[in-house]
Amino acid sequence: MIDLSKIKLMNSQKLPLTRKQKQIIQEYCYLAALKTLSEEQSEQMSKILEIAIGDEVIDFLIGEADHFIGHKFNIIDETACKNHQANLKERIVLEKPEADKITS
């Protein structure tokens, strides 16, 4: 089981979770950490991802859980991640003046 208390949120803010949201995230973490999924588990994962489409909190926490799980199981390439972040920062800086022209 993945310990949700170790997932750090942006600026250490706490998100208010309903009991149902917490159960959904815990189930997602359990399933995401499995090596393979049975047909039933795969269907449950699909249901969770469908719920996340309409629930921003669950969607955000699934992203955080994926990142945490990726680090825990060493499946995140840190170099590729840093390169991707640098690329995003560069694009944001380059595209911001264009956005300013549109809003002015």
Q: What is the pLDDT of residues 25-63, one digit of tens each?
A: 999 999 999 999 999 999 999 999 999 999 999 999 999
What does the pLDDT read at residue 53?
95
Whether 67 and 99 share a structural domain: no
pLDDT band at 1 (very low <50, low <70, confident <90, very high): very low
Cα distance between residue 12 and residue 16, in whole Å:
13
Name the CA dihedral angle for 32, 35, 39, 45, rounded to a multiple of 10 degrees. 0
The domain total for the chain is 2
46 and 95 part of one domain? no
**Is pTM beyond 0.85 here?**
no
Same domain, 64 and 46: yes
Domain extent, residue 22, equals 16-73
Answer whether residue 100 is part of any domain. Answer: yes
11 pLDDT more than 50: no
**Which is more confident, 10 or 39?**
39
Q: How far is CA 77 from CA 71, 74, 89, in A?
A: 9, 8, 18
- The whole-angstrom separation of Cα 51 and Cα 46 is 9
Q: Is residue 25 located within the same domain as residue 69?
A: yes
66 and 32 together in one domain: yes
